[in-house]
Structure 1
Amino acid sequence: MILLSFDIEEFDVPREQGVDYSLEEGILVSIEGTNRILDVLKENNVCATFFCTGNFAENAPETMQRIIREGHEVACHGVDHWQPKETDFARSKEIVERVTGLTVTGYRQPRMFPVVESEIRRVGYRYNSSLNPAFIPGRYMNLRTPRTWFMEDGVMQIPASVTPWLRFPLFWLSLHNLPECVYHWMVRRALGHDGYFVTYFHPWEFFELNEHPEFKIPFIIRNHSGLQMAERLDKLIKMLKSRGHEFITYNDFVNIHQPDNND
């Protein structure tokens, strides 16, 4: 089973480099990238889960409707990606449900920051995907956490996939920078070990970042961005489909493993 996801947020990476960049500009970049992602998914006839910030949902309603119309799951990703708050999970749910008219069951905190699981359950989420259990000094140094799904305070935790032994991350930056054959091999190893694969990307990765030196974005982020990243995503999906793997949403994954976890 393949759990493919996208953190649909306003583009704020230039702000991390000290560049003055507005919310409106960030939304436009992410709308373009999201549509490019949706084109790839539609061509390959696969579903995914889109974790959306409140800012994006309110400022890009037409894009949100396309996500829904094409059969993808909508989940929550906080409110303001640049300034995440521990309490955003409740407000994010209210905003995204109001914009989409759907009941949202999943959450991912911006930048994979921690959340209070009991509060996540209290407001009605069934799962939380805010953990990258990788061996990376800094934000993702999570050697003591489980690699695969587990339950905590009545909420299913769905960590991003890492390699079985060294915990090398198999997220967006890896597909940007590794040779595709190496990345595909590591994905297959994780699949063989765990029986499923979880990964995530962002819409701004599918924008032509190399055409904008004023963003001051590091090479490892803009490497193979834009159309090249769309091609890499397309090849990854085709490789997995050719091996008979099924693409499912995160909520479907919860239904399979915890069918009674909805009260």
Structure 2
Amino acid sequence: MILLGFDLEEFDLPIELGNAISFDEQLTISTYGNTALLALLKEFSVKATFYCTANYAIHKPEVIKQIIMEGHEIASHGYFHSAFVKEHLLQSRLKLQEIAGVPVTGFRMPRMMPVDEQEIADAVYTYNSSLNPTWLPGRYNNFDQPRTWFYKNGVLQLPASVSPGLRIPLFWLSFHNLPMWLLKTLSASTLKKDGYLNLYFHPWEFFNLETKPQYGLPSYIVRNSGNNLLQRLRGFITWAKSKGYTFERTADFVGKVSR
């Protein structure tokens, strides 16, 4: 079972790095990548989960409605991508439900930052996918955390997938920088060990970031962005289907393991 998750947000990464980008351009780049992603998922009849900020959804409600119409899941990615107070947990869920017209049961904290699990439970989420159980320099060191799903404060915690043993992360940056044969090998071993993969990307990665040097993004992010990343994901899905692996929305998977 493979769970594809896409963090659909205002593309504010240049601002985090000290560079300017207008809000309209943030929305345009994320929406461009999301359109390409939806077409790819539709081509392969793959269903996925889109973790959306309420801020993005308010400005692009037609995108949220298309995601739902095409059979995907909407989960919360907070209210804003670069600002957080605990009230945003409930507020984002309610706003997304209002726009999408469907229940929202999952949450992922922007940048996989820590979030109080009791506050997640109080905001009535069923699952939280905000943990990357590995070490990323300058971000976090979660080697002491469980590698696979577990419960905390009554909420199912669904960490991003990392390989057994060395805990090599199988996430968006890996798809930019690792050879695909290695990613497939690590994915197969993780699937054999855990029975599932929880992978995450951002729609803005599927815009050719090499054309925007003014953003000041590091090479390990712009490498294989845009159509190159789309073709890498296409090849991964093709490989996975040839091996008999299936794809599922995260809420559906959570419903099965929590029974």
What band does the TM-score fall into relative to the shorter chain?
Answer: over 0.9
Deviations 1:140-175 (A, max 9, x none): 310110000000111000000001001111100001
Determine the C-alpha separation between the residues in 1 that align with 2:135 and 2:32.
32
Instruction: Within 5 Å, give how 1:1-263 maps onto structure 2.
Output: 1-259=1-259
Secondary structure at the aligned position of 1:125 is classed as coil
Q: Structure 1 87/138 Cα, relative in aligned 2: closer, same or farther at 3 Å?
A: farther
Contact 1:112 1:130 in 2 (8 A): yes
Determine the C-alpha separation between the residues in 2 that align with 1:110 and 1:123.
17
Could you tell me how far 1:65 is from its partner in structure 2?
A: 1.1
Could you tell me how far 1:130 is from its partner in structure 2?
A: 0.3
Deviations 1:26-68 (A, max 9, x none): 0111111101111110111110000000111111111111111
**Which stretch of the first structure deviates more once superposed, 3-12 or 138-147?**
138-147
What is the identity percentage for the equivalent residue pairs of Structure 1 and Structure 2? 47
Could you tell me how far 1:123 is from its partner in structure 2?
A: 2.0
Secondary structure at the aligned position of 2:166 is classed as coil
Could you tell me how far 1:85 is from its partner in structure 2?
A: 3.1
The one-letter amino acid of 2:180's match is E
Secondary structure at the aligned position of 1:220 is classed as helix
Secondary structure at the aligned position of 2:224 is classed as coil
**Which stretch of the first structure deviates more once superposed, 187-196 or 116-125?**
116-125
> Where does structure 1 lack aligned partners over 5 or more consecutive residues?
none
Determine the C-alpha separation between the residues in 1 that align with 2:88 and 2:73.
20
Determine the C-alpha separation between the residues in 1 that align with 2:89 and 2:237.
30
Could you tell me how far 1:237 is from its partner in structure 2?
A: 0.9
Structure 2-normalised TM-score?
0.97
Determine the C-alpha separation between the residues in 2 that align with 1:84 and 1:171.
24
Contact 1:135 1:166 in 2 (8 A): no
Name the Cα RMSD after superposition.
Answer: 1.1
**Which stretch of the first structure deviates more once superposed, 210-219 or 118-127?**
118-127
Determine the C-alpha separation between the residues in 2 that align with 1:85 and 1:118.
14
Structure 1-normalised TM-score?
0.96
The one-letter amino acid of 1:156's match is L
Contact 2:175 2:183 in 1 (8 A): yes
Determine the C-alpha separation between the residues in 2 that align with 1:239 and 1:227.
18
Determine the C-alpha separation between the residues in 2 that align with 1:194 and 1:35.
31
Determine the C-alpha separation between the residues in 1 that align with 2:85 and 2:225.
29
Contact 2:36 2:206 in 1 (8 A): yes
Secondary structure at the aligned position of 2:84 is classed as coil
Deviations 1:241-263 (A, max 9, x none): 1111111111111111113xxxx
Could you tell me how far 1:138 is from its partner in structure 2?
A: 3.2
Q: Structure 1 169/140 Cα, relative in aligned 2: closer, same or farther at 3 Å?
A: farther
Contact 2:86 2:119 in 1 (8 A): no
The one-letter amino acid of 1:116's match is D
Contact 2:20 2:215 in 1 (8 A): no
Could you tell me how far 1:119 is from its partner in structure 2?
A: 2.0
Contact 1:9 1:52 in 2 (8 A): yes
Determine the C-alpha separation between the residues in 1 that align with 2:6 and 2:77.
10
